Amino acid sequence: MRRNRKPAFTLIELLVVIAIIAIIAAILFPVFARAREKARQTVCLSNVKQIGEAVMMFQDYDETFPFVLDASGNCMFDVTNAGDNGKHPLVPGVTGQEPQFQLVTAVASYVKNANVWYCPNFGSDSTWELQIKLGGWKKGATMRDQKTSYAYTWLSWPYPYPARWPSILTFMGDKRYAILREPSRWPMISEETAGIGYTGSVADLPPSAVPHSSGMNVAYGDGHAKFHRMEASDENYLNRHAGDGLYQ
């Protein structure tokens, strides 16, 4: 008596199907990864814009910019010595990381969601390796210590630096909005690119120093925010562009 055999895949057919699935997956996975990164970049841009708007609202209320000290410590250049490394602090006796000198505290009334303060690519547990190497941060410190992974232009100077550039540094705390000549060019909030392990060489910008594949998000003095495509000269965006729209 002949038994009716049910149709089934042969071993060769199964192997072919598996190979096709593997090829499709290899093609689609990078696409999915780019889509996820684009989504994180969009969330980060929203964060930066919200923080920038919070600073604008603070300025509207108080008529001055927040009194914020350097995120990595309370340093202030001596006008006679550009490399004094904090020997003449702006506020003696403090580290600069006390809550009252942090941007998060200054604009707390305008930013209610704590997640807004951290780029989704790094979060609160990431470290600022460059500042740890320079002694600005102690070992084990994370973005949680400054309550954000974003940087605020607390101190502005012209670039390229003139011969007497320390004498014309502008501390933005308690300054009025009218000090800005071209607000749309002044980078007020940005991501801390140097905080992701950057070594300081402008010859080659490593991928680890770029927050989002090819660039970073920046909020400007007029409240608008946009994605900035980075070049090798942008390893520390705020340092090199802190005077844009402020100085001639």
Would you say how long the chain is, in residues?
248
Q: Could you give the dihedral angle defined by the CA atoms of residues 164, 170, 171 and 174, in that order, rounded to the nearest 10 degrees?
A: 150
58 located within any domain: yes
Q: Is 145 strand, coil or helix? A: helix
**pLDDT tens for each residue of the chain, 248 residues long:** 555 666 666 778 788 888 888 888 778 777 777 788 888 889 999 999 999 999 999 988 778 999 888 765 666 555 444 445 556 677 878 877 788 888 999 999 999 898 999 988 877 887 766 666 666 667 777 888 778 888 888 888 888 777 766 677 788 888 899 899 999 999 999 887 654 434 444 345 555 566 777 788 999 999 899 998 876 666 667 777 888 998 86
For 36-69, give one letter per residue: b (16+ CB within 10 A) or e.
eeeebbebbbebbbbbbbbbbebbeeeeebbbbb
Considering only CA atoms, which of 54, 69, 59, 48 is closest in space to residue 179? 59
3 located within any domain: no
- What local confidence, expressed as pLDDT, does residue 202 receive? 39
246 located within any domain: no
- What local confidence, expressed as pLDDT, does residue 4 receive? 61
215 located within any domain: yes
Number of domains within the chain: 1
Domain that holds residue 94: 11-241
Considering only CA atoms, which of 187, 192, 182 is closest in space to residue 55? 187
Supply the pTM of this predicted model.
0.78
Do residues 151 and 185 touch, judged by C-beta distance below 8 A?
no
Q: Residue 163: what residue type?
A: A
- What local confidence, expressed as pLDDT, does residue 101 receive? 87
